[in-house]
Structure 1
Amino acid sequence: METLHIDTAQREEMIDITGLVQRTVRENGWNDGALLLYCPHTTGAVTVNEGADPDVKRDIVANMRRLVPHKGDYRHAEGNSDAHIKVSMFGPEQFLIVESGEVKLGTWQRIFFCEFDGPRSRKLWVKWLGI
């Protein structure tokens, strides 16, 4: 297992980690199999979505803020209940196909680390599941 380190700069943001993940695959010589990306934080997530148009990231973050506002009818004492809810909606993991040393993604797809309670220093676990 590899551990990637991601520093976030805002309370809520989506960081394109496609290059970082692909570099990890190449450096480890992983060729054909599957890759599990897992965020061990309760307020961070991983997703795959369009990366060609930066407005997609903006739209997702802006509308998640509207759907699950920072301040609301929450009882959790740490003040980050919205972040926990958002992670439950996205999920802490992604399972990806690797073929011939390349992460298989659609034409417009990118891998994003989703920060919902930053800025923070985050970890992302990468587990190779070869065939």
Structure 2
Amino acid sequence: MLRKLELSTNEHAEMIDVTEKVRTYVKEEGLDHGAVIVYSPHTTAGITVNENADPNVQHDMLMRLDEVYPWEHEKYRHAEGNSASHLKASTMGTEQTIIVEQGELVLGTWQGIYFCEFDGPRPRTFYIKGLSDV
């Protein structure tokens, strides 16, 4: 079943750990074997899987994305002035697929699932869809 979740971001750019929300979905849906898709319907936010043990990893990722895609650039043409957010979201991607085995997310020891905000703060949504093995 498709589930829509809402969250509010607090910073202009941040990575919010949504791993437990995805685990809760897997348990509530009784998904034993298959996969889940975690999807962002936004053009200035994305979904990624990365380390969740050390918060400095998220800091470093956001810092480096700012260096690669600065907020202001003399050649940007997008009228809203948030071209950097679009570039960052496309770099992260809109979705991640995570395998589910024996009712558990198949993630590495240090991995977590993140909603990545690049144009906040604002209310956001994301979706989770379970795919069961037949």
* Shared fold, TM over 0.5: yes
1:11 pairs with 2:31: no
Cα RMSD after superposing both structures: 0.8
Alignment correspondent of 2:25: 24
Question: Partner amino acid for 2:24?
Answer: R
Alignment correspondent of 1:96: 98
Matches within 5 A, 1:50-129: 50-72=51-73, 73-129=75-131
Question: Partner amino acid for 1:44?
Answer: A
User: Could you list the runs of 5+ residues in structure 2 that have no partner in the other structure?
Assistant: none
Whole-Å Cα distance in 2 between the matches of residues 104 and 6 of structure 1? 24
Identity of aligned residues (%): 49
Residue-by-residue CA offset, 1:11-42 (whole Å, 9 max, x unaligned): 10001111111111111211110111110000
Deviation, structure 1 residue 114: 0.3
Greater mean deviation of Cα atoms: 19-28 or 53-62: 19-28
TM-score for the superposition, normalised by structure 2: 0.95
Whole-Å Cα distance in 1 between the matches of residues 124 and 26 of structure 2? 19
Question: Partner amino acid for 1:70?
Answer: W
User: Could you list the runs of 5+ residues in structure 1 that have no partner in the other structure?
Assistant: none
Alignment correspondent of 2:43: 42
Whole-Å Cα distance in 2 between the matches of residues 110 and 124 of structure 1? 16
Deviation, structure 1 residue 112: 0.6
TM-score for the superposition, normalised by structure 1: 0.97
Structure 1 segments (4+ residues) deviating >4 Å: none
Whole-Å Cα distance in 1 between the matches of residues 4 and 104 of structure 2? 19
